[in-house]
Structure 1
Amino acid sequence: MFQQPLKLKTSVHLQPYDRRLLKQRVLRAFPGIGEVELVPTELMLAKFRTHLNERGIAWLSEWKVVYLGPNGDPLWFTVGQDSEEIIPTVYTLWKKPDLLPTLTTFSEEIPALTVAHRKQVIEIPATPPLQPDQLVAIAQDYSARGAPKAGPPLVVGRMAVSGEELRVLVQGQGKYKKKHAVAVVHTCRDSLWEIGTDASVPEPRDISNAEAESEGEDIASLHGEATAEATPEEVTSILRTALLQSISTSFLTLPPGTFPIPAVVFYTTHILPFRPAHVSFITPIDIKCSSHKSLTTFLKAAEKEGLLQLKERRMHKHMELLVVDVDPKHHDVAAHHVRDKLTQRILYKFQTWHKISIKGRESVAREGVIKPISIVVKARRNNKVSTLVSGFEPYMIGPDVLANELKTLCASSASVLPAQTDSRTTRTPVLVQGKQIEAVTELLVSMGVPKRWIEAVDLS
């Protein structure tokens, strides 16, 4: 995409609101980003055009967006006018090398990784399972050069095949097909990288044997060592549970028009990735080791149970099996408990607490559900109207401070009423003359109270 020079527009500083939106997008895309600051305060935005003509998508503008750091290094970019996908550059990956799943290779030049170079691919992440079109990084392997080292990410690309399919081909177990394993999007020293400061490539990171052994011991102690062989019936049970898990989760969010799905794609994309991450068997959990022996037999058994529907389609000289629908309302799917439901049941047993945090002050945690601040406008004698504010004490706002601020803001009299005590709390309302809902709301928001925790009603 960035093999030839870019047509770059003038960069502009990103406004604080737009920066917050960008940070939210980054956190949604990479929830495990940790404490590394990958969206700095000073950001610039620049639009550019590549040499490629992206035809076939009418709504897609040829303009792309890139987010530049304070020193001009490109940190993130998007492709498409309204694309919500945020893609990290190699500059960002050098700060956070584990941001994307990483494939490693012996190749010195890190070519466009293809199955034709499958002997160069030496490590493919097992978890999370890689899906076609998923963003990945490519790095160089240094393990054969003395002490174990992790090379810096040098390529950002998209998986052209699933991780399971690539792993089979790399191990020489699959039928050879000349096709790309990763479609390269951005690389070190391409035209996007050259927008930045041309920083030197980081040195490989040392991976000490002590760390590796410690990590291995932790994993072994947590999951145990797989020594037993699974029976075909046990493998079948695990694959069926993976199917139920897939129907209960991923199929609920798939867009319309997803079906029909070829049986092989359905198996590699919607069954294999939903197998348990750690099992106590040394037997491979795949269809060949199950009691069905073939994918067609397994899917027809699932169809007989009512979990899915199949259809055959003639393709040249052979028939292709398609999955045309699944049944998320099947009784076995309804009885299948996914992790989120278990978490909800655990949370339901917890005591309810809330915490109030204000910058520069110590946070306060209290038992119970926090209640919103109440703003009520009432009519008094002689057609006079007043505004009563109560319930602000849990938000660390004092009645005297609030009354003084309202006097100045509303240019009206404000007074602190006698305290009202119920079974658990004590409230000290503040009364201000006139209809002051907007003024009081504006003041509370400026004092750090989220607007959703303010309830206002006009009873006049």
Structure 2
Amino acid sequence: MNHRNPILFEVEKTLYPTVYTLWVYPDLLPAFSTWPPVLQKLAGGADLMLPGVAVPPSGLPGVERGALCAVTLLGNRAPVAVGVATMSTEEMLAAGMKGKGFAVLHTYLDHLWEYGDKSYPPTLAPLVPDPAGKESAGHEEEQEGKEPVTSSSPDPVKHVAISDLSLKETDSCAELMGKEELHESRAAEPAEDASPEEQQEAEDTRTPQEQMDALFNQCFFHALKCKVKKSELPLLTSTFLRSHMFSCCPAGQQLDIKKSSYKKFSKFLQCMQQQKILQVKELNKGVESIVEVDWKHPDIKAFAVPEGFSSASAAQDSKSEDREQVYHAPEIIPLYGVSTKMVPLFQESGHRKGSVLSSSEVRNIIINYVKANELVDETNKNFVKVNPILCDCLLDKSEQDEISHLKWDELLSRCLERLQPLHQVTFFGQEPVVRKGNIEPIDITLAQRSSNKKVTIIKNLELYGLDPQCVANILQQKVQASATISPTPGAKDRVQVQIQGNQIHHLAKMLLEEYQLPRKYIQGLEKAPKLGRKK
């Protein structure tokens, strides 16, 4: 003990340094990094699983099985836990970074740490409770930690080894405290006997909000590291989220800012700006763009691309055209919601107001309704008799006295017309999303500017998962004409691409052939220049 801080603790006659000691000598032990949300699991008694270890570009430190190691948080060298490697570095990599990596002995925030002055790691990382402790904690620890551990050597890091320390060199309370507090803090180390599957579950006991925060962090760093190029800046924040971060989201998971602690994407980016990872500016009124990224920031450099995304990391060095070929056109399915007026027709089949149905489901329900109520005309089976419910649901007031029969196809088309339009969009590798109304097509228009010059304006690219900035950059290179981005009038959070000249031929080729979008979702292709004329 030095003042109130434990310096070492003993387990089975072996001495280990506390986090207080490691804050003074951060390089004393080989260090492995993890994400901030994992700290709570470690402090609660969990061991560190290999999926929770971030692999830096320089590779993991080389350690043998049984080696004493420090655990740090991404972007902060101050250790937050001490543990023993359950396998060598080679074995970790051979196991595909799966299973248990470290048996954790002691963490920042556990009972042993509480025995000290409860100060915080010198350099604050996310999830560290008190930013005010940043300066004072580092200096206090420097004064308090030096004497018991080091000699007069100017660089103790290279000369102090844990095996060289003995109980005689430190206060006897460290031994007592270490034994008592260790068992209390680690709850008799239950994690030692737990299976990797149980440990994996322990990783998932975070609140949904913490999980969403962690997912946003992961997708944010993944997108910056693998998807965004310097040449793309300035990049619209909405495009960065929709085109870059969404594509980094693991299969089966979905980014939803409202389920995170940030609530708004702008607030999330503000936090990243405060950490000096990037800079955001409002270049156009009401539209924010990322104007600068610190590619050398330790958090970006230390980020390891999750398993299963190796092909995405290769995109970092590819040309923007090559990367665009990875685009998959979304699958768009029209859907129908049961409106109040149509409830009588659908309630027999167990549906109510707001039920969402596909066109084939609607067709089957109508056919079954007609047959169940014996409404097929006996003399001509192409016609259906209109009963009071069909009359109320499908006929206008002026028609109700005149129409007693409807053809099958008219019956179905009238029914679809009177249901609420919806559509389901499924982007590659993401969960389907249902939206109200019919999907708006990509809208291509021509406009006249001063000096009688024409410009081509493209709207609604975002609805199809296309990055307007990327489309503008590629078009600009292809047709050698200037392209700009501006907010779409009357549409919140959307932008339009404007390029000089009539570029509809080039756009048609790009959208229909390269991006494989169905023609029915593109409006304005008929305005292409007539053959024989360029651009």
Instruction: Tell me whether the two structures share a fold, i.e. TM-score over 0.5.
Output: no
With CA pairs under 8 Å and 6+ residues apart, which has the higher RCO, 1 or 2? Answer: 2
TM-score, length-scaled by structure 2: 0.23
Normalized per residue, the structure richer in strand is 1
Calculate the TM-score normalised by the size of structure 1. 0.26
Question: Whose helix fraction is larger, Structure 1's or Structure 2's?
Answer: 2
Q: Which has the larger radius of gyration?
A: 2
